Chain A
Amino acid sequence: MKNKIICLLVISLVVFVSSGVMAQEEVIKIGVFEPMTGPFAVGGEISMQGYRLAQMQNPTVLGKEVKLVVVDNKSDKVEAANAVSKLVEKDDVVAVLGSYSSGLSLPGGEVADKAGIPMLTATATNPLVTMGKEYVFRACFIDPFQGEALAKYTYENLGHSKAALLVDVAQDYSVGLANFYRRTFEELGGEIVADLKYQTGDQDFSAQMTEIINSGAEALFFPGYFGDVALIAIQGRELGYEGVYMGGDTLDNPKLIEIANEHAEGVIATTFYHPDAPASTEASMKFVESFKEEYEENPNSVSVMTYDAYNMLIEAIERAGSTEPDAIRDALSATEGFDGAGGTITIDDGNNAIRPAVAVKVVDGEFTYEATINP
C-alpha cells in the first residue's frame, strides 16, 4: 500500500514537473494579423515579405525560437478585431504585429489594448490607432505630419493654390489624411476648390473627376489605397484632368503603376523609405541586398516597415529580458535611436515613431526619390 502511494506521488510529481516544463515553452509566439485576402491583399502580402525576411535573419530572442502565428483579417474591420482576439486568447501570443491599413489596425488595437498585449503596427499612420492606448505602438510617422508635408509641398514647392480632395469615406486613414492636408493647405492660404468622396472598391469615378476638372483644381489630393487610386488616375486623365496627382504612403506600391500605366506618371506620394534616399544606413544596405536575394524583386516601403517592426519588437523583448506583456510594453515605449533599415526610430510619448518621411514621384514607370522631409 505504502509503495503504491509513493508510486502515485512520484508519477504525479513527474507529470507536474514535465507539464511545468511544457508550460515554459520552447518557442516565443508573436501574432501577426494582416489582410491576406480582400481589397488590401497586396498590402498584406508585401507586409509578410518584410516579417518573414526579418524572422529568417533574426529567428531567436532570449535564447528561444520565435514563431509567427499569422491570421488573415480579410481586409475587414470586424475580422481584424476577431483576428487579434484569436491571437490573444487561443494562441497565447506575447505580442502582436500588424496590420496594413489604419482602418484594420484600429479595431485590432482596441482588442490588444484591452487584453493588455503589446501591439506594434508597421504602417498604420492614422493618429487614432495609438491615441489613448497604452499597449499599441507604431513604427511609422503619423498622418498630421504626412498631410502637412504634402500640403506644404503643393503650395510652396509647386506653387499651386487650388487643390481638390477625393476621399475614401470608408477608410479612417483616407478621411484623416485629407483633413490634415486641408488644414495646412488652408492655413498657408490655399483654397480647397472641390471635396468629393467615394468608397473603397468603387470603380467608376467619372462623375467625381468631371466635377474636379470643372472646379479648376491644379492639384488633386487622393489619399486612398492604390487600387482605387489607379482607377481614379486613369479616368481623370481620360476626362482631361491635367493637374498634379498626390497622395500618401499607400500609393507607394508597384501595383499602382502596373494598373494605371502611363496615367500614373507624375504621381507624388510621401512614403517611409526609398533606396535612393541619402540617409541609407548599413542596416538598409543589408536589407536591400537580402530582400533582392530572397524575393528577386526590389523592396517596397511597406516591407521595409514590417521588417523594421519585427526587429524593433525583438529588440524590445531582448531588452525587457522577459516575455511579460508589461515588460515588453515598457521596453517598446523606451525605444530610442533604433537603427532600422528604413531609418532611425525613436518612440515618443504618444507611442508614435519620430522619423523622417520621403517624397517619391512616378517617373518613367518607376517611383523615384524626390526629397526627404524631416519632422
Chain B
Amino acid sequence: MTLDIFLQNLVNGLSLGGLYALIAIGYTMVYGILRLINFAHGEIFMLGTYFLYYGVLIFSLPWWLSFIVAIILTALTGILTERVAYRPLRKAPRISILISAIGVSFLLQNLGIVVFSGVPKAFTRPEIFNKIFIFGNIRISSINIAATIISLIFLMALLYIVYRTKTGLAMRAISTDVETARLMAVNVDNTISMTFAIGSALAAVGGILWALKYPQIFPVMGMIPGIKAFIAAVLGGIGNIVGAMIGGFILGLAEIMLVGFMPELSGYRDAFAFVILIFILLFKPDGIMGKNVQEKV
C-alpha cells in the first residue's frame, strides 16, 4: 500500500468514523443518564432524514431551514418516545425498559414502512456538498469535511452543555443518583426530557449528514448505523461522551483499513465490527475511556 492510498483510506475512515461518532454520542448520553440502551436511536436517526426529505419536497423549504425544522421535529419525537415508552417504566426493572426500547425501534421501523413506503427515496444534495477537493492524489468531498467539522462542533457544544450549564449539572447529578438529585430540587422529568431532546437532535444531525453522504433513505436505514454506533459507544466506554467520539473514529478507521489492507476480507466488514464488540466486552468491558472518568453523563 502506497502512502497516497493509505492517506486516502485515512480520509475515508475518518469521515465514516465522524458519522459513527455523532450517532454514538447520542447513544452514550442517554445511557449515561438513564442506564438505558436506547435501541430506538437508529430509528430516530432515520426519522430525522425523512423529516428533512419531506420538508424540502412537500413544503419546498430551503434546505438549511428544513435542516433546522427536521432537527427540532426529531428532538420532539425523542421527547415523545421517552414520555410514552420509557417514563412509565422508570421504576420497573431495567430489563422492562430495554424491551420497551426494542419495541419502540420496531414500531418506528414498521410505521416508517407504512407511512413512507419501503421504497428507497433519493435524497437530493445541495450543490455545496457536491464539491470535491483534490490534494495531490487524495480526494476529499465537501460532505466529508462538513461531516467531520459538524461532528466536532456538536461534541464541543455537548461538552459545554454537560459541564458548563445548569442543565448539564442536573444531568450529571441524575446520572449519579436520581433520588438525591430530586431531593436537591432537580427537576428530574424535565432534565430527562432534555437529555432525550439533545440525544435525538444529535441522531437527526447524524442521520442528515449520513443521508447527504449516502443519498438514499429507507425506513430500515437506521439499523446498521445504529448498531455500529452502539459498538462505538461500548468501545469508547459506554456513558462517556469523549469515549463515544473516539470509539466512533476508531471503528470507522478500522472498518476502512480492514478493506484497505485485506481486500479479500471486504465482505466481512460488519462481522469485523462485531468481533471488535465481542473482544471489548471480553477483555475491557469498560471500554477505552471507561476507567479514567468518575462522572458519567
Interface residues of A (CB under 8 A from B): 36-39, 41-42, 45, 167, 169, 194-199, 201-204, 206-208, 210-211, 214, 227, 230-231, 234, 238-240, 255, 258-259, 261
Chain A residues with CB under 8 A of B257? 207
Minimal beta-carbon separation of A361 from chain B (angstroms): 20
Q: Which of A39, A194, A201, A259 contacts B215 (CB 8 A)?
A: A259
Q: Which of B26-34, B48-56, B112-120, B230-238 contacts A (4 or more CB under 8 A)?
A: B112-120
- Bound Cα distance from A201 to B267, whole angstroms: 12
Chain B residues with CB under 8 A of A37? 113, 118
Cβ A194 vs Cβ B214 within 8 A? no
Cβ B218 vs Cβ A39 within 8 A? yes
Ordered by A's residue number, 27 sampled pairs between the chains whose C-beta atoms are within 8 Å are A36-B118, A37-B118, A39-B220, A41-B117, A194-B263, A196-B259, A199-B267, A199-B269, A201-B220, A202-B269, A203-B214, A204-B214, A207-B9, A207-B255, A207-B257, A207-B266, A210-B5, A210-B12, A210-B260, A230-B216, A231-B216, A238-B132, A239-B8, A240-B139, A255-B122, A258-B122, A259-B216
- Bound Cα distance from A169 to B266, whole angstroms: 10
Which among B118, B134, B260, B270 has the greatest number of chain A C-beta atoms within 10 A? B118
Chain A residues with CB under 8 A of B123? 259
- Bound Cα distance from A336 to B240, whole angstroms: 68
Minimal beta-carbon separation of A186 from chain B (angstroms): 18
Which among A195, A196, A227, A259 has the greatest number of chain B C-beta atoms within 10 A? A259
Cβ B263 vs Cβ A42 within 8 A? no
Cβ B120 vs Cβ A259 within 8 A? yes
Cβ A206 vs Cβ B215 within 8 A? no
If over half of B's interface residues share one DSSP class (helix, strand or loop), that class is named, otherwise mixed; here it is helix
Let me know if B289 is at the binding interface, CB within 8 A.
no
Cβ B256 vs Cβ A234 within 8 A? no
Ranked nearest first, the 10 interchain pairs of A and B with the lowest CB-CB distance are: A197-B267, A207-B259, A41-B118, A37-B118, A206-B12, A169-B267, A203-B214, A258-B122, A259-B122, A207-B256
Minimal beta-carbon separation of B53 from chain A (angstroms): 13
Binary CB contact string for chain B from 251 to 286 against chain A (1 if under 8 A, 0 otherwise)? 000011111100110110110000000000000000
Let me know if B100 is at the binding interface, CB within 8 A.
no
Let me know if B84 is at the binding interface, CB within 8 A.
no
| Contact status of A210 and B118, CB under 8 A, knowing A197-B266, A198-B266, A259-B215 | no
Cβ B270 vs Cβ A207 within 8 A? no
Cβ B263 vs Cβ A196 within 8 A? yes
Cβ B120 vs Cβ A207 within 8 A? no
Q: Which of B139, B214, B225, B259 contacts A231 (CB 8 A)?
A: B214
**B90-118 interface (Cβ within 8 A of A):** 113, 117-118
- Bound Cα distance from A42 to B216, whole angstroms: 13
Q: A204-B255, A238-B141 are in contact. List 6 more A-B contacts (CB 8 A).
A: A38-B220, A41-B117, A206-B256, A234-B215, A258-B122, A259-B122
**B3-37 interface (Cβ within 8 A of A):** 5, 8-9, 12-13, 15-16
